[in-house]
Amino acid sequence: MEEPKKLRSPLDDLDRKLLALLTENARSTNQALSEALGIAPSTCLSRLKALKDTGVISRFTIDVDTVALGRSLQAMVSVRLRPGARHLMTAFGEELRTMPEISQFFVLGGADDFLIHITARDTEHIRQFVLEKLSSNPAVAGTQTSLVFEHSRGMSPA
C-alpha cells in the first residue's frame, strides 16, 4: 500500500525555479541545480526530497523520439462511452494502459470521456488500432480521430 503524501504549504519561488530546471533536464545533478539556484547543495536536496515526498514531483520520465521506434505518425482519439457503460470507465482506463500505441490518455468531463494520444507507423496502423482496440469494445459508443502535425511540450512551472 502506498504511503499517504505529506501535506505541504504552497510552492514558493525557489520551488518553482527548481521545478523549471528539472522540467528542462530531469537528469540534472543536485550540484548543478544548487549552483543554478544559488543555494547550498544540502538545501537543494532537502527541497527536492520535500517535493517528492509531498507528491509535487510524482515521477521522472524520458521523452523518446517516436520516429526512432518506427512510429512517425501521431493522433489524438476522442472516445465516448455508451451511457449504460459509465461504470466501466476505470476498467477501460486500465485496459488503455496496456496498449503500446498509447503514449498518454486523459479522462475527460464533457461530451467525450477519454482523449487518447497514440503513436503509429502509418495511417493503416491508426485505422487498425481504432477499429480493433477501441470501436470493437462494447463499452465504446464512438470515436473521433485527429492527426497530429506537430507536438510540443510547453509546461514550465516558473
Q: What does the domain layout of the chain look like in residue ranges? A: 13-53, 73-148
- pLDDT at 5 exceeding the cut of 80: no
Residues written for the chain: 158
**pLDDT score for 10:** 84
- Give Cβ neighbours of residue 111 (< 8 Å, ≥ 6 apart): 80
Q: Which helix (H) or strand (E) holds 107?
A: strand 102-107
**Which whole number is the average pLDDT over 23-38?**
94
Sign (positive or negative) of CA dihedral 43, 29, 33, 15: negative
| CATH class of residue range 13-53 | mainly alpha
**pLDDT score for 4:** 53
**Which whole number is the average pLDDT over 60-66?**
83
**pLDDT score for 7:** 60
CATH label, 73-148, candidates 3.30.420.40, 3.40.30.10, 3.30.70.920, 3.90.79.10: 3.30.70.920
- pLDDT at 113 exceeding the cut of 90: yes
Amino acid (one-letter) located at 62: I
Whole-model pTM: value is 0.74
Q: What 8-state DSSP symbol labels residue 132?
A: I
